[in-house]
Every structure is written in structure tokens, then in C-alpha cells.
């Protein structure tokens, strides 16, 4: 009879242990916090103008040119270029390319008669 009581006590103790570990894990994970809001990369005025430019058509010529300038400025800020021209990186322009080491590459093909025994 004592074996049954010991088994029930051990079962109850292990169940309580599992519940405590589960509760601690849920608490440490942070629960159901809402996802953080997406960070805005533009100012309020520029953001409003960019939102307005989303729906503009090419027929609205004056506004279209203004929107093209806004898009170019937004791209420039996003890519971090000081000028609007896309090109080679200035840091890589000063580097000189070093030729590859050709010493390990076999020169030419072996002659077929040299391979035959």
C-alpha cells in the first residue's frame, strides 16, 4: 500500500513541477505583447507628401515632377548617398586589384603518350 501512496505523491509532485516550469516559461517569454510599431523614416510633412504621391498619375504633370523629386530624395536618404547619382563606391575606387597567384595552376595539358604505361 505504501508503494501506491508514494507513486501518487511522486506523480502529484512531478505534475506540480511541470506546471511551475510552464508558468515560468510563459512569464519569461513576455506573453502576448503587441508587436512594436514600424519606425517611420521620414518627417511628417514629407511622409504626407509621399502618401499623396502614391496615387498621382503621369497626366498631372506639375505634381508628377514634384513627386519624382520627392522620390529621388527619399531614395537618396534611404541609400545614404551624398549625391543622387548611383555609381561606384568611393572607398573601393582607390583600391588596386592584385593579380591572382598562378603558380599552382598547371601550365598546359599533359601529353597523351606520357600518361600511357
Q: pLDDT tens digits, residue range 3-20? A: 888 899 999 999 999 999
Answering whether pTM is above 0.85, one says no
**In this predicted model, which residue has the larger pLDDT, 56 or 32?**
56
56 in Cβ contact with 63 (< 8 Å): yes
Burial class (CB in 10 A: 0-12, 13-18, 19+), 91: exposed
Q: pLDDT tens digits, residue range 34-90? A: 555 554 455 667 788 888 888 887 777 777 888 888 888 888 888 886 654 555 455
* Among 21-25, 63-67, 74-78, 109-113, the least confident range: 109-113
Amino acid at each position: 500500500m505504501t508503494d501506491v501512496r508514494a507513486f501518487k505523491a511522486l506523480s502529484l509532485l512531478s505534475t506540480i513541477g511541470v506546471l511551475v516550469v510552464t508558468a515560468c516559461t510563459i512569464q519569461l517569454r513576455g506573453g502576448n505583447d503587441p508587436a512594436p510599431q514600424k519606425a517611420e523614416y521620414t518627417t511628417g510633412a514629407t511622409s504626407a507628401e509621399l502618401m499623396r504621391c502614391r496615387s498621382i498619375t503621369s497626366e498631372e504633370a506639375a505634381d508628377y515632377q514634384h513627386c519624382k523629386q520627392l522620390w529621388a530624395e527619399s531614395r537618396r536618404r534611404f541609400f545614404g548617398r551624398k549625391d543622387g547619382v548611383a555609381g561606384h563606391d568611393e572607398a573601393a575606387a582607390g583600391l588596386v586589384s592584385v593579380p591572382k597567384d598562378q603558380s599552382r595552376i598547371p601550365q598546359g595539358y599533359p601529353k597523351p603518350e606520357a600518361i600511357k604505361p
